[in-house]
Amino acid sequence: MDRRLYQLIWLLIFLFLVQFFNLLELQAMGVDSQGQMRMLRALLAWSLVGYLVPAFIPNRIIRNIVIGIELVYICVSFLTDFYLINIYRLPFSGAMAQPILATNPSEAIGFFRSGGNAMLFGRGLLLLLVAFVIARLLPWSVRKGFSLLLILMGKMPTSVRGFHRGRWGLIVLVLLMIFLGVWHAKYIYAAYRSNWIRYNAMSLPERLWLSNRMAQKEISLSNIYYHPQAPHENHLHRERTIDTPHNVIVVYDRLIYPHLMHCYGHYIKNTPTIDSLIASQELFILDKAYTADNTPHFAMAQALSYYDPGDESSWDVYPTLPGVMRLAGYRTFWLDNTPKATPWLDVVPQLAADCDSSYHVNLRASEECWNGNSPLDEAVLEHLTDYRQGSQSVFSVIHLQGGEGSIWSRVNRDFWTFDRRHFTVFDNIQPDDRDVLAQYHNLLLYHDHILGKIIDFYSSTPSIVIYMGNLGVQGDTHPYDGTPIDEADRSRVPFMIYLSPEMKRLRPDWSEQIQALIGKTYSTADFPEWLTRLLGFEYFKNKSIVVQEE
């Protein structure tokens, strides 16, 4: 047993070095020093486990098989993580495992398509080779060094001979690693119980294992296995469709409250672009639009599918709006700046997958859990598409983060215009809360700018751009300013419609139809049916059309 422990010391060193090199690669992600120390404790503990397991196996063949499995696992894990960090700046975590296991796997495993990245894999293999050489040579060098030192000293005391055999040094090392492992395990267990896995404080093996376990758990919790029903041709009735190629754009923004927008009567001028478009009668604004549901999941599901709110079935037994638009002849595209797969966005992957193509600016998850960075919503502006790129009418959903999460990381600093001095009239809130209120106004100013840029992109083509929020306010007081909520404001969301000059010439009757909608109470659950009727066709979700009108 003592001999095996000493002979396999190279395995302990190799496992430690591979994970240590992985920690060095993570430096580019901005892991803080506290996280590095926790990760260092973790990799020491896992190195010890990988070393002791084969050391306690007496059969040489089984022992070598176990060592081989460990080496293959750690090397493949290292190369996979190495590639993800250097190409995507996203180490393997639960957010990566979810789309691999549940949604759009062909895109999620795209990092295996390594074309043109042979040099990157070569560097990873070189690091593995360096770790292996050091692991094999270091014990031999230490042993030879002690032998040479003892020869020079001319004598070899018993205590030194014992150390030369490696027994006491190994015992001290094992005890140290056990102590560090227990210390780290307490931290990980506490994080797991609180359902907040700190991947940036984990070593490579436990990150891979826990991420898959958490992914399966979150997939189950978020019902990410939704499969929307495909629309049927015999349920689609075409009446007066538009033959000219055009664009139908839906901008779906999160947690934007009309109560605090200047275009809805707020006294702070935080929507200058929208105000200008309303004044020129290019943009129509609905005062009485309300969310379909008070939960983000079903609000989006109802706004972008033909779900019947009175049905107790799941929303995915009905077709989606993108699916019906595709059936009607549109090229459908989903553009997103929210994480690809998280429990609080559990209908997004399915809606996106029901489009002809999709692009997630935020990839599979944001980098916030690593370094606090969050892609700004303006990142979608580089990926807008229209019919000119394919000579086919386009239906596109642009999904923005809006006020979700930390509003401090959601706003370009060029738009940090307002501060607490603009809100001294709110004597009912503390100065620090006025800072938050000011920042939310900066967010509204920023999203006014983004909407203006989107409209600019489509203004020269026949286009309709619909902007809507996802959730309205609930409770007794408004978020941010603390003013009482009246019934007219409860669940209200921003809803605006832009018609380009080309579209107005193409469909002069649309302005009148939209004007008729302005004074009415409107639910976003009615949006799919209203939009398709405006476009000249209708989808009957509960019955087939036997005879098509010419």
Span 474-483, pLDDT tens digits:
888 888 888 8
Give me the pLDDT at residue 410, please: 85
Residue 340 covered by a domain: yes
Average confidence (pLDDT) over 273-277 = 96
Instruction: State which of 221, 256, 288 marks the end of a domain.
Output: 221
* 175-184, 271-280, 345-354: range with highest mean pLDDT: 271-280
Average confidence (pLDDT) over 80-105 = 63
More confident residue, 153 or 314: 314
How many domains does the structure of the chain reveal?
2
Q: Classify the C-alpha dihedral 466-472-478-481 as positive or negative.
A: negative
Q: Which of 342, 431, 366, 47 is nearest to 203 (CA)?
A: 47
More confident residue, 320 or 3: 320
100-114, 292-306, 354-368: which range is least confident on average?
100-114
Question: Do residues 254 and 215 both lie within one domain?
Answer: no
For residue 175, pLDDT over 90 is answered with: no
Give me the pLDDT at residue 532, please: 94
For residue 137, pLDDT over 70 is answered with: yes
Token pair of 301, please?
A: 């599901």
For residue 464, pLDDT over 50 is answered with: yes
Average confidence (pLDDT) over 180-203 = 67
Question: Do residues 160 and 268 both lie within one domain?
Answer: no
Residue 232 covered by a domain: no
Q: Which residues pair with 549 in a beta bridge?
A: none
Domain around 491: 245-516+524-539
Between CA 526 and CA 306 the distance in angstroms is 9
Give me the pLDDT at residue 326, please: 94
Residue 496 phi/psi, 5-degree rounding, is -135, 150
Between CA 490 and CA 502 the distance in angstroms is 36
Residue 219 phi/psi, 5-degree rounding, is -60, -45
More confident residue, 252 or 346: 252
114-118, 155-159, 292-296, 369-373: which range is least confident on average?
114-118
Between CA 372 and CA 9 the distance in angstroms is 39
Q: Are 74 and 18 in contact (CB under 8 A)?
A: yes
Average confidence (pLDDT) over 455-460 = 96
Give me the pLDDT at residue 364, please: 47
Question: Do residues 170 and 257 both lie within one domain?
Answer: no
Residue 546 covered by a domain: no
Task: Give the start-end residues of each E strand in 159-229.
Answer: none
Residue 266 phi/psi, 5-degree rounding, is -70, 150
Q: Which of 527, 530, 541 is nearest to 303 (CA)?
A: 527
Residue 321: which pLDDT band, with cuts at 50, 70 and 90? very high
Give me the pLDDT at residue 546, please: 44
Q: Which residues pair with 522 in a beta bridge?
A: 289
DSSP H helical ranges for 194-320: 204-221, 272-279, 296-303
Task: Give the start-end residues of each E strand in 98-240.
Answer: 236-238
Helix (H) or strand (E) holding 413: none
Residue 230 covered by a domain: no
Average confidence (pLDDT) over 235-252 = 90
For residue 219, pLDDT over 70 is answered with: no
Q: Which of 432, 503, 508, 429 is nearest to 466 (CA)?
A: 503
Residue 149 CB neighbours (<10 A): 12
More confident residue, 385 or 210: 385
More confident residue, 495 or 351: 495
Question: Do residues 270 and 367 both lie within one domain?
Answer: yes
Residue 237 covered by a domain: no
| 409-445 confidence digits (pLDDT tens) | 889 999 999 998 888 777 777 888 889 999 999 999 9
Tell me the pLDDT of the chain averaged across its residues. Answer: 80
More confident residue, 151 or 405: 405
Q: Which residues pair with 537 in a beta bridge?
A: 238
Question: Do residues 177 and 319 both lie within one domain?
Answer: no
Instruction: State which of 221, 256, 275 marks the end of a domain.
Output: 221
Residue 244 phi/psi, 5-degree rounding, is -70, 130
Give me the pLDDT at residue 289, please: 94
Question: Do residues 194 and 338 both lie within one domain?
Answer: no
Give me the pLDDT at residue 1, please: 65
Question: Do residues 273 and 313 both lie within one domain?
Answer: yes
Give me the pLDDT at residue 114, please: 39
Question: Do residues 480 and 380 both lie within one domain?
Answer: yes
Question: Do residues 282 and 162 both lie within one domain?
Answer: no
| DSSP at 380 | G
Residue 179 covered by a domain: yes
97-101, 422-426, 471-475: which range is least confident on average?
97-101
Q: Which of 422, 481, 511, 17 is nearest to 257 (CA)?
A: 481
Average confidence (pLDDT) over 222-246 = 81
Give me the pLDDT at residue 431, please: 83
For residue 316, pLDDT over 60 is answered with: yes
Residue 184 covered by a domain: yes
More confident residue, 90 or 109: 90
Residue 548: which pLDDT band, with cuts at 50, 70 and 90? very low
Give me the pLDDT at residue 361, please: 80
Residue 397: which pLDDT band, with cuts at 50, 70 and 90? very high
Question: Do residues 329 and 455 both lie within one domain?
Answer: yes
Long-range contacts, 52-55 (Cβ 8 Å, 24+): 52/174, 54/8, 54/11, 55/1, 55/4, 55/5, 55/8
Average confidence (pLDDT) over 278-287 = 93
Between CA 467 and CA 59 the distance in angstroms is 68
CATH number at 396 reads: 3.40.720.10
Residue 46: which pLDDT band, with cuts at 50, 70 and 90? confident
Average confidence (pLDDT) over 11-35 = 78
Question: Do residues 217 and 266 both lie within one domain?
Answer: no
Q: Are 353 and 103 in contact (CB under 8 A)?
A: yes
Residue 229 covered by a domain: no
340: CB partners within 8 A, 6+ apart: 95, 98, 99, 103, 104, 108, 348, 349, 360, 362, 363, 364, 365
Between CA 295 and CA 290 the distance in angstroms is 13
Question: Do residues 451 and 367 both lie within one domain?
Answer: yes
Residue 389 CB neighbours (<10 A): 11
